[in-house]
Structure 1
């Protein structure tokens, strides 16, 4: 039994899922300087923040992002929850910081219960009426892949009939300070895989997919938009923040995902790369990609367009990958039209038409958390 995506939705600094897709194809970047960050004394004031939603309560920003992305996903899935017992609906959510503004505004009476990732997962469960498994994954920048991979596995195993899975990450001043002090942030634009790249850029967003079994999709004559294959995981155990330079952990995650999906590297038409734009991470990822795909594979990163949305990043990238499979189009590497030749990668610099059957969505996180998720074109 296959796990199929029947709906998806996203909120990024470029807009909704369709707006984000169109913006990436046009090579647009949502990055801009922010007066409030300058007024507060931040060393780096450029970021990718969502402006098309009301500001609202900052301590519930993640919930607002989740509400918008989830509404779009459920609308596209068109009746996915109809007639399903609440106990057969599962929620799987990835995030790095949860409602980070709650921590930023903490007082002596502060309680983490309303702000951690579990609270966000519970919020989504309440929206869809789920009483089945509710899981929160705090695996940092790989959390979206973890959540979607776990959801698909639950559907395939028959533990749930419908899974809602994705990632949520509101803008975090804590993360801005941390990355800035690590000197990991670019002062202007994020340029993945480009010579002279200067670092990552912080974003915010949310993305969800609705996953159903192939049997249920057939029974209700729904439209399948993509197949969710296996999730490959590995651990570098190398350094708290730096990737293993030889990319071996990243490569292990990719090989595991392909092997568990019974695919060869030659069957992958495009890799949605982690591509943060930092010198070390991009270089290590390039080594890993060359190792797994010795004959080459088209590669691009969307972080130049919407920034690094941390726990939501690979969930947003999953939505973009589903669109790529639907359209037969590998999206370009925004801000990366002059790839670093030393990386020896086939970087997609303009939208590239392709017969995409399988793609690999890669996401890596501090502490050596490596993930790769297989996604395929629906038959």
Structure 2
């Protein structure tokens, strides 16, 4: 089967507006949690989140009138295209796939009557003059992985020569109020897998990958950063918000991703956890990992650094995972002081771990029992 490579990456988060800054601060243990300033939280119990202070555009004119979600995705896409060394001429058959939960909550260009979640993909495609497929995936907190999976299918089916794939969500009063009503948020810090964890911390950001068929990338002289080897997508339909405590669907998603990648459980050196910091989700994910891989499997969550960025989460985690493969460092889980004894996995805490691995599995889960896993491989493996 045709191998898919990653040739460029871009990211916007509360701890870094580009891939280099994000990666440095991730390993340094920088925390993006601060008081919310973009909307009124005076009547909310929780007043903190992981907010992006500034988006760094290449061209100010392109960003005029677009909302924050679109601006973040566009900034990440521009960085990724630059790293991939794609010119305007080469972008003739480039498609786009955007994963999001809330879509664009902010304003859009005055000359546009488009509304709905798809406005981000449409505006970015128009601004970058893309003529390939346009997709918007709204699978909540697993949307980034779903977008990456769809992009992989578009390339293998021959519908595009290159795909811009990733996820984005901006903080909004609506999402903040919704999660607050569920009492799912922590009022101070996000503590994934900690025995005293209190809930998630909402964040915002974007993560983008440039995906190409390996032969096409090498033909134009591009240097692969990593391989996208497979994905697994399942649904429990157990509860509208709670995960299936048996974790059957989560395990099946991981197994499906490994099957597509033609790898075994023993090949995986690290799992990038969804790790939201909520009691039920962390416990269920840890069970899935322990039951499938055994209690020795290394894992960590970066949501203590950047919060839960909803549809952007798994795309940002994919960017981080590619850098883990490239540089041989695994990030630690911030704010983890005492591992929950019910989470029977080796969660990296206190400081990054120096460890080279050839294959990483990255998980993302969403309300409604939506499970997703992708497998990434080190370039040259």
User: Aligning the two structures, in what range does the TM-score lie when normalised by the shorter sequence?
Assistant: over 0.9
Q: Secondary structure at the match of 2:118?
A: helix
Question: 1:278-334 CA distances to partner (integer Å, 9 max, x unpaired)?
Answer: 000000111111121125211001111000000111111111111111101111112
After TM superposition, the structure 1 = structure 2 runs for residues 232-311 of structure 1, keeping only pairs within 5 Å, are 232-294=232-294, 296-311=296-311
Say how many residue pairs are matched.
Answer: 370
The whole-number CA distance in structure 2 between the counterparts of 1:320 and 1:300 is 12
- Residue matched to 1:2: 3
SS of the residue 2:208 aligns to: strand
Q: Take 1:37 and 1:309, find their aligned partners in 2: how far apart are those partners?
A: 17
228 and 93 in structure 1: CA distance in 2 versus 1, 3 angstrom threshold: same
SS at match of 1:229: strand
Match of 1:89 in 2: 94
Given the alignment of the two structures, is residue 177 of structure 1 paired with residue 182 of structure 2, yes or no? no
- Preserved CA contact (<8 Å) 1:94 1:117: no
Confirm or deny: 8 A CA contact 2:36 2:51 kept in the other structure.
no
Distance 1:18 1:133 in 2: 29
Return closer, same or farther for 1:83/1:33 CA change in 2, 3 Å cut-off: closer
Deviates more, 1:223-232 or 1:16-25: 16-25
User: Where does residue 108 of structure 1 map in the other structure?
Assistant: none
Give me the whole-angstrom Cα distance separating, in 2, the residues matched to 1:226 and 1:53.
Answer: 26
CA distance in 1, matches of 2:35, 2:105: 21
Listed one character per residue, the Cα deviations across residues 184-237 of structure 1 (whole Å, up to 9, x for unaligned) are 000000000111100001001011111111111211121100100111011111
Equivalent residue number for residue 106 of structure 1: none
Q: Distance in 2 between matches of 1:36 and 1:6?
A: 34
The corresponding residue for 1:71 is 78
SS at match of 1:69: helix
- Describe the shift of the 1:36–1:207 C-alpha distance in structure 2 as closer, same or farther (beyond 3 A): closer
Alpha-carbon displacement from aligned partner over 1:68-123 (angstroms, at most 9, x marks no partner) = 111111111112x454362x2211110001112459xxxxxxxx963422110111
What per-residue deviation string (whole Å, max 9, x for no partner) do you get for residues 156-183 of structure 1? Answer: 3322111111111111211111111111
State TM-score, norm by structure 1: 0.93
Q: Which 5+ residue runs of structure 1 have no aligned equivalent? A: 104-111
Q: Report the more deviating stretch, 168-177 or 329-338.
A: 329-338
- For residues 37 and 90 of structure 1, the distance between their equivalents in structure 2, rounded to whole angstroms, comes to 34
Q: CA 1:214 to 1:278, structure 2 compared with 1: closer, same or farther past 3 Å? A: same
In the aligned structure 2, how far is the partner of 1:366 from the partner of 1:297? 25
- Structure-2 residue corresponding to 1:45: 47
Partner SS state of residue 174, structure 1: helix
Q: What is the aligned partner in structure 2 of residue 34 from structure 1?
A: 36
- Which residue of the partner structure matches residue 206 of structure 1? 206
SS in structure 2 at match of 1:116? coil
Q: Is the 8 A contact 2:362 2:374 kept in 1?
A: yes
Deviation at 1:6, TM superposition (A): 0.4
Q: How does 1:1-379 map to 2 (within 5 A)?
A: 1-15=2-16, 16-34=18-36, 40-53=42-55, 60-79=67-86, 81=87, 83-84=89-90, 86=92, 88-101=93-106, 114-294=114-294, 296-349=296-349, 350-379=351-380
After TM superposition, the structure 1 stretch with the greater mean CA deviation from structure 2, 115-124 or 356-365, is 115-124
The separation in 2 between residues aligned to 1:36 and 1:315, in whole angstroms, is 23
Q: 1:277 & 1:30 partners in 2: Cα distance?
A: 15
Deviations 1:229-265 (A, max 9, x none): 1110111110000001111111111111011111111
Instruction: Check conservation: 2:295, 2:345, Cα contact below 8 A.
Output: no
CA contact (8 A) 1:113 1:119 kept: no
SS in 2 for 1:125: helix
Structure-2-length-normalised TM-score? 0.92
RMSD: 2.1
Cα 1:36–1:169 shift into 2, 3 Å? closer
Unaligned 5+ runs, structure 2: 58-62
CA distance 1:344–1:218, shift in 2 (3 Å): same
